[in-house]
Each structure stands twice: as C-alpha cells, then as structure tokens.
Chains A and B, each alone.
Chain A
Amino acid sequence: MRHISHTDINYADLFADFRDPNSGAVVMFSGEVRDNNKGKAVTHLEYEAYEPMAEKMIDEILNAALEKWPLNKAICVHRVGPIDVCGCAVVVITSSAHRAAAYEANRYIIDRVKYEAPIWKHEFFTDGTSEWGQNCDCSSPSHPHHHEHKHHHAE
C-alpha cells in the first residue's frame, strides 16, 4: 500500500478493512486541517513530500510498530497537495486484540511520522500570507524526544 496520497483520504473505507474477528480494538487517528494557527485564520494547507523517502520511512515506522506491539494491522496514509479546512491530512489506523497496544502503537506511529518523515506543511492564511510549518520545536515542554532524527540547532 502506498503511504502518500495525492487524492482525498477515505478513512471510512480504510477503517472497514480493519474489521476482523481477531481484532477487539481498532484505533484510528485522523489529522485534520484546523481553521486557525498562531492566532491567524487559515484558508487551507498544502503538503509537500520527498515521496520516495517518505514512503520508505513510513514503511520502516510501521514495521517498527508491528515489532514493538502485538498488532494485527497498521497503516498510515499522508495526503500531499492542497487540503481545505476540515480535510484529512493524515490517517493512522492500528488494530490489535486489546486496546492498549492499538492506542500506544497509533501514537507512536503518528509522532514518528510527524517528526521524522520528509513531509512539509505550507499554511495559507486569510490575510494573504503563508508559512512553512516546523514540527520540531525543542523549546516546547511537550516536545516528544523519542523521535530519532538528529537536531542541528544554531548555537
């Protein structure tokens, strides 16, 4: 399955594929486009990816999750191109016999994809300005440091 999509993500269809008699828990995370950021009204987002590398890295992240937790299935699909407010930017679905593994693995996958995969968000605001996003904010107390890339911050 491809992890980068140039068309709308139909998470209802993706979720339906996860129903199986051995999965007592199916967890779905959908990253949706908000209408505001940093006090500014957002019109839409555009995502760009270095696609061959993003595909490879998401594959590696999913395989790492499958090794770490007793999952039955795990997928991650990230949209590229323009997305309107309320659109789906990324979906992660995990299934397991019991909920703990599906929840934990789902969080692990989305955190690593956000901070490691070569995918970039371009935000467009109602005032006509735009800005490229940066997820890696090490000054934030909530910054998850289990992601594996090396930081190169200016002194």
Chain B
Amino acid sequence: METTIQVTCFAGLRKFFNCPLTINLKLPTAYEDVLLEMKKVNPEASEILDSCRIAVCESFVPRTALMTSDEPLFIIPPSSGG
C-alpha cells in the first residue's frame, strides 16, 4: 500500500522544493529512497541531497535503515552554525 510521507527541508535545500513536500512510497522502504524520489522531483537538488542527513523524531537515522511508518522526515543539509 502506498503511503504519503511529509518531508521538511531546511536552508539551501528549500530553494529546490516547495516545503513541506509530500512523497508517496510503498512501505517498508529505505530512508534513502525518499532522497531518490526527491531527486526525481528536482534533479538539480541531487548534489546537495547527497550531502544531507535524514532525521526522524529529532534523531538522525541511517540512510539504509528501513522506514516502516509515515512519520514526518526532516532532511538536514550540512551544518554551518557558529
């Protein structure tokens, strides 16, 4: 069954997408598949997406881990605080 995932982007990534973005995927699937879908939405974002991390419930998740629920995802570009 296809599930709709809500994706929030930050900083430089926002210029490539209308956020929050919704992605439809069949679960379970790897978190990195969300990034692949985002690259299809806007191929120009491919380079920055390759350097992003993924967070769920305020914690980072490995890209290859399996996503089993429709919890919102947060795409975290490389930090530049300080």
Give chain A's interface residues, CB within 8 Å of chain B: 31, 47-50, 52-54, 56, 78, 89-90, 110, 113-122, 132-136, 149-154
| Cβ-based interface call for B7 (8 A) | no
Q: Can you name 5 extra interface pairs (CB under 8 A) apart from A114-B80, A136-B78, A152-B63?
A: A53-B59, A118-B10, A149-B60, A149-B79, A150-B53
17 examples of A-B residue contacts, CB within 8 angstroms: A50-B74, A53-B58, A56-B58, A113-B82, A114-B80, A116-B79, A118-B55, A118-B79, A120-B11, A120-B12, A120-B77, A120-B81, A121-B82, A134-B78, A149-B60, A152-B53, A153-B50
- Chain A contact residues: helix, strand, loop or mixed: mixed
Determine the chain B residues whose CB is within 8 A of the CB of A153 once the complex forms. 50-51
Given contacts A120-B77, A132-B77, A152-B52, whether A50 and B82 have CB atoms under 8 Å apart is no
Q: What does the 1/0 interface line of B48-67 toward A look like (CB < 8 Å)? A: 00111101001110110000
Determine the chain B residues whose CB is within 8 A of the CB of A136 once the complex forms. 51, 78-79
Given contacts A149-B60, A152-B50, A153-B50, whether A122 and B11 have CB atoms under 8 Å apart is yes
Q: Which of A48, A56, A152 contacts B10 (CB 8 A)?
A: A48
Q: Are B11 and A135 in contact (CB under 8 A)?
A: no
In Å, the complex CA distance between A121 and B78 comes to 10
The 6 closest A-B pairs by CB, nearest first: A119-B81, A133-B80, A132-B12, A120-B11, A114-B82, A121-B80
Determine the chain A residues whose CB is within 8 A of the CB of B10 once the complex forms. 48, 50, 118, 120
Determine the chain A residues whose CB is within 8 A of the CB of B11 once the complex forms. 48, 120, 122, 132
| Cβ-based interface call for B2 (8 A) | no
Determine the chain B residues whose CB is within 8 A of the CB of A114 once the complex forms. 79-82
Q: Which of B58, B60, B82 contacts A135 (CB 8 A)?
A: B82
CB of B68 to closest CB in A, whole Å: 21
In Å, the complex CA distance between A152 and B80 comes to 16
Given contacts A120-B12, A152-B51, A154-B50, whether A135 and B74 have CB atoms under 8 Å apart is no
Determine the chain A residues whose CB is within 8 A of the CB of B50 once the complex forms. 152-154
Q: Are A50 and B81 in contact (CB under 8 A)?
A: no
